[in-house]
Structure 1
Amino acid sequence: MKKFLLVVLVLVVGTALAACGGKEKASDDKSVKIGATAGPYSDMLKKAIIPGLEEKGYKVELIEFSDYIQPNNALASGDIDANLFQNTTYLENVVKETEAELSPLIIVPTAPMGIYSNKFKTIEAIEDGAKVTIPNDPVNGARALLVLQDEGLIELDPNAEVLKVSEKDVTMNKKNLVFQPIEAGQLPRSVDGTDLAAVPGNFALAASMNLLDALALEDMLDIYRNVVAVKTENIDKQFAKDIIEIVESAEFEKVIDSDFEGFGKPEWMK
């Protein structure tokens, strides 16, 4: 009877431990699920990352999402092993708000914000009093103002926090630009109805805009560039190391140069 109870106890404990670790990524597991939002970063996975993983013997499944919430939920739950769709700032906010144990693995080339116009052909041709639509959210609004500053159209208070600058921090407005904050998703449409529009790269590509048509492209800070993210516990697993190796390869950069023109490269690639 005692032997019987011991066997039952071992089986119960073993089953419980297996259940607890069911979604942990084994070091020698050669199957990988990667999530992305449909669009350029899903394409980047298909063209520049997944082929390299397959060459290394991995069986890769790409999961496409239609929003910015589910990819991190799926990663945190272990339903996928990595994702590519978000920048460092967004990921940090998700981790802070949800306490999900997710970490950036490596920064990848990212579509920059651009200043677009159907009225002016160059930055120099911009007329006094031109109207410019900019994103109405703080993060992208700050990015737009930084681009305008880089082009010499405005100056911002040097004491202002770079990531939080707003219209109130404009200390010089060379062309007396009139700022019109609107929803970021509406910015591509605004190009036809205003003088200038500061359009984030992901929205420009979603609207089939050519990044190289911009009068100016953002010199992005790395915190605004997209990252491959994984569960923190998996950051040293072999599949994560292999993703880093692939992204750092010459073959990856060749695909970026040929198929993702206009994408800004992170500091480590320069």
Structure 2
Amino acid sequence: MKAFKKLLTLSLASAILLVGCASGSTKTENKEAEKAENTASSQTIIVGATPNPHAEILKAISPQLEKEGIKLEVKEFTDYIIPNTALEEKQLDANFFQHQPYLDNFQKEHGTHLVTVAKVHVEPMAVYSKKIKNINEIADGSTIAIPNDPTNGGRALILLEKQGLITIKDGVDKLIATDKDIDKNTKNLKFKLLEAAQLPRVLDEVDVAVINTNYALEGGLNPITDAIAIEDKESPYANILVVREGQEQDAKIQALVKALNSDEAKKFIEDTYKGAVIPAF
């Protein structure tokens, strides 16, 4: 009987020991799985971008990041608001769609905390028409569609002023000028303000439209071959890579900056867009 009790005690002790080992093993496995998941997450960078040319450029440099062990996830947007709010709310790690004057104005209006980490390219804004072939053919009373956001609207007016169609009032910050800031309009031009993305779709309805290159490309327009007037290469509106304040030195961000400002990126931009998009580095 004593021998039986002793055997039972030993069996119970062994069972408890085995359960303890199994529990410890499970905890270790869970920790390893969690560590692997966190590592994978830390090596993924999510960037918001408009489709053309931004998303295309990002996808082109993705192999460079893969060599660094970083997976690039591109989320495409078709407007100029959500990419900044999504970045501010930590839904994105970076965005790539805008120029500095637009970002500055957006931050002033929305109180976001975003910073520029790289200049990538310039998309010359251009004037398009399906009714005339030369900017000098614009008739009295013509309707011109321009972007309705302050910075791109101002940019469009600056371009029209350089073409001699209007003048902007003295003392006005031209970067954010509106149609109400026009001083001289000798041809009595009428202005139709629309979201930038809509402009290629209204060319049949207006005489002329001033369109950002990314939306022009999406609409099948090429500023080099289709425009009747275009910004010169000295345009200050370089498109930029933007992150949240405090993330500038993050290793993933620095790897992305390096890739976007690489010789490979420059060659892709020059070969693909043939002057419609110009490297800014």
Same fold (TM over 0.5): yes
Task: Report deviation, 1:194.
Answer: 2.9
Q: What code does the residue aligned with 1:230 have?
A: V
Tell me the distance in 1 between the aligned counterparts of 2:112 and 2:140: 48
Q: Is the 8 A contact 1:135 1:182 kept in 2?
A: yes
Q: State the Cα deviation string for residues 70-101 of structure 1 (Å, max 9, x = none).
A: 43344334443222123333433444455443
Query: Which residue does the alignment assign to 1:20?
Result: none
Tell me the distance in 1 between the aligned counterparts of 2:116 and 2:92: 15
Tell me the distance in 2 between the aligned counterparts of 1:57 and 1:194: 49
CA RMSD of aligned residues (A): 3.1
Q: Is the 8 A contact 1:88 1:227 kept in 2?
A: yes
Query: Which residue does the alignment assign to 2:201?
Result: 189
Tell me the distance in 1 between the aligned counterparts of 2:110 and 2:142: 42
Pair 1:121-2:148 in alignment: no
Q: Is the 8 A contact 1:76 1:231 kept in 2?
A: yes
Q: What code does the residue aligned with 1:215 have?
A: I
Change (3 A) 1:119 1:237: same
Pick from 241, 250, 260 the counterpart of residue 254 of structure 2: 241
Task: Report deviation, 1:254.
Answer: 1.1
Query: Which residue does the alignment assign to 2:19?
Result: none
Pick from 135, 138, 146 the counterpart of residue 158 of structure 2: 146
Tell me the distance in 2 between the aligned counterparts of 1:97 and 1:151: 30
**TM-score, normalisation: structure 1:** 0.73
Query: Which residue does the alignment assign to 2:218?
Result: 206
Pair 1:257-2:277 in alignment: no
**TM-score, normalisation: structure 2:** 0.71
Q: Identity across aligned pairs (percent)? A: 36
Change (3 A) 1:263 1:105: farther
Comparing 192-201 with 90-99, which one deviates more in the overlay? Answer: 90-99
User: If you compute each CA radius of gyration, which structure gives the higher value, 1 or 2?
Assistant: 2
* Equivalent pairs, count: 240
Change (3 A) 1:55 1:216: farther
Q: State the Cα deviation string for residues 30-67 of structure 1 (Å, max 9, x = none).
A: 432222234431112112x3232223332222233455
Change (3 A) 1:234 1:157: same
Task: Report deviation, 1:147.
Answer: 0.7
- Where in structure 2 are there 5+ consecutive unaligned residues? 1-37
Q: Is the 8 A contact 1:114 1:216 kept in 2?
A: yes
Q: Is the 8 A contact 1:131 1:177 kept in 2?
A: no
Tell me the distance in 2 between the aligned counterparts of 1:148 and 1:98: 29
Tell me the distance in 1 between the aligned counterparts of 2:104 and 2:110: 10
Pair 1:36-2:49 in alignment: yes
Q: Is the 8 A contact 1:112 1:262 kept in 2?
A: no
Q: Is the 8 A contact 1:211 1:261 kept in 2?
A: no
Tell me the distance in 2 between the aligned counterparts of 1:159 and 1:256: 37
